[in-house]
Amino acid sequence: MAVLLWAVLWSITSSECLPGGNLFGIIILFYCAVIGGRLLGLVKLPTLPPLPPLLGMLLAGFLLRNIPVICDNVQIEHRWSSSLRSIALSVILVRAGLGLDSKALQKLKGVCVRLSLGPCIVEACAAAVLAHFLMGLPWQWGFILGFVLGAVSPAVVVPSMLLLQEGGYGVEKGVPTLLMAAGSFDDILAITGFNTCLSIAFSTGSTMFNVLRGVLEVVIGVATGVPLGFFIRYFPSRDQATLALTRASLLLGLSVLAVFGSTRFGVPGSGGLCTLVTAFLAGLGWSEEKGEVGKIIAVAWDIFQPLLFGLIGAEVSVASLRPDTVGFCVATLGTAVLIRILTTFLMVCFAGFNIKEKLFISFAWLPKATVQAAIGSVALDMARSHGEEQLERYGMDVLTVAFLAILITAPIGSLLIGLLGPRFLQKLEHQNEDEAPQQTSVQL
């Protein structure tokens, strides 16, 4: 099938499917990323949970970029790469909007809100200060970097929480439900803050004008998303045979249109928020049927996930990295993550959790991957469109920190969740007689 796909594309596009062409590079990158994810999934250590496949996808793109002979033949223009990452971002935003659970939010209330807002905002501010004084970034770019780091990864947290939930760990106090519900709100806050700061950084005029412009883009995003959400809630009608497929296609199409159209109209910060609001309102109206639409969106994510992480890895060139820059990036990342862990611990105090459960939630709120891959390169893409070398350097610093955040925190966070979950969370006492005894780690 792979050879047939290449042959069909070659017959249509000719040189684009030959070595050095964009389609050739995309196909090779996609298959290498898929293989990298599968190979990493085969690595199984005793008493340890499996590593996230996205790490293998990231490393596959990184190797393709930095192996001399291969990088000369596998090339993707920045325009193509940016467009593919924007489509992947649209899919992520749709999944985040559909994943918002209003019932879970009402049930958990205060602690869910604190866990969604507190760590993200505090880490974003801490990273902005560190980036300004350690890396020399302007304040606007410091907060761009802060909100890139501020999001937790649902691609790592959600599967791990589902495994714990199946094993009965933390179910009585709703720890897995809390983390899965708060994760969506955390990501939305980070993406909204990032888009607002990005608009301010690339706007001309006074600071007050730029701030008001950022607020205006948020208002435009919400105002556009509300009618679109109500529209696709009732259209198409329920009597169609392929209702779920039609809804998913319409939702994805509108989301991609919102992300790309907002950039065309000069309000890039509104597209992401419009997508989130549209997906959330549509999901509320679909109620139980939302799950079928979510499954179709998940298939789209399975296609764009290898492309997204592979393209992020391929953006990082060893030759362009300076040792001092990498050192400052690691220092900024490490300090910001420690501040996040401490803040998370404080946010879940007085919520009925014991000390072990608080520690588990603090470490479970560590991994970063999906959002960092989706928005980590957006600032660099906009800097390239402006053609200013200094802005490109700032954008490259943001991308480098995002790359290191995925590379370091995703595997560490996944391992910590798998190791600490069975030890720190209480297990439901009522088990079947034939159920396996409590294990020391969660295994897939």
pLDDT in tens, 367-411: 888 888 888 888 888 888 887 888 888 988 898 898 888 888 888
Average pLDDT, the chain: 82
Instruction: Read off the pTM.
Output: 0.78
β-bridge mates for residue 169, sequence order: 427
pLDDT band at 104 (very low <50, low <70, confident <90, very high): low
Phi-psi map region of 241: left, alpha, beta (phi>0 left; psi -120 to 50 alpha): alpha
* 427: helix, strand or coil: strand
What is the rounded distance in angstroms from the CA atom of residue 369 to the CA atom of residue 339? 18
* 169: helix, strand or coil: strand
Residue 336: the pLDDT is 92
Residues 6+ apart with CB under 8 A from 108: 174, 177, 178, 181, 182
> Which of 24-38, 68-82, 231-245 tops mean pLDDT?
24-38
Arithmetic mean of pLDDT, 289-312: 87
Q: Please check the confidence at residue 431 and state whether its pLDDT lies above 50.
A: no
pLDDT band at 243 (very low <50, low <70, confident <90, very high): confident
Q: Please check the confidence at residue 174 and state whether its pLDDT lies above 60.
A: yes
Residue 436: the pLDDT is 41
Arithmetic mean of pLDDT, 334-342: 93
Query: Could you tell me how far CA 384 lies from the centroid of its own chain?
Result: 22
pLDDT band at 164 (very low <50, low <70, confident <90, very high): confident
Residue 126: the pLDDT is 93
What is the rounded distance in angstroms from the CA atom of residue 422 to the CA atom of residue 441? 6
Write the pLDDT tens digit of every residue in 271-284: 888 888 888 888 88
What is the rounded distance in angstroms from the CA atom of residue 55 to the CA atom of residue 258? 29
- 29, 98, 116, 159, 194 from 188: Cα distances, Å: 29, 12, 9, 19, 10
Q: Which two tokens stand for residue 419?
A: 């190791």
398-418 in b/e burial notation, b at 16+ Cβ within 10 A? Answer: bbbbbbbbbbbbbbebbbbbb
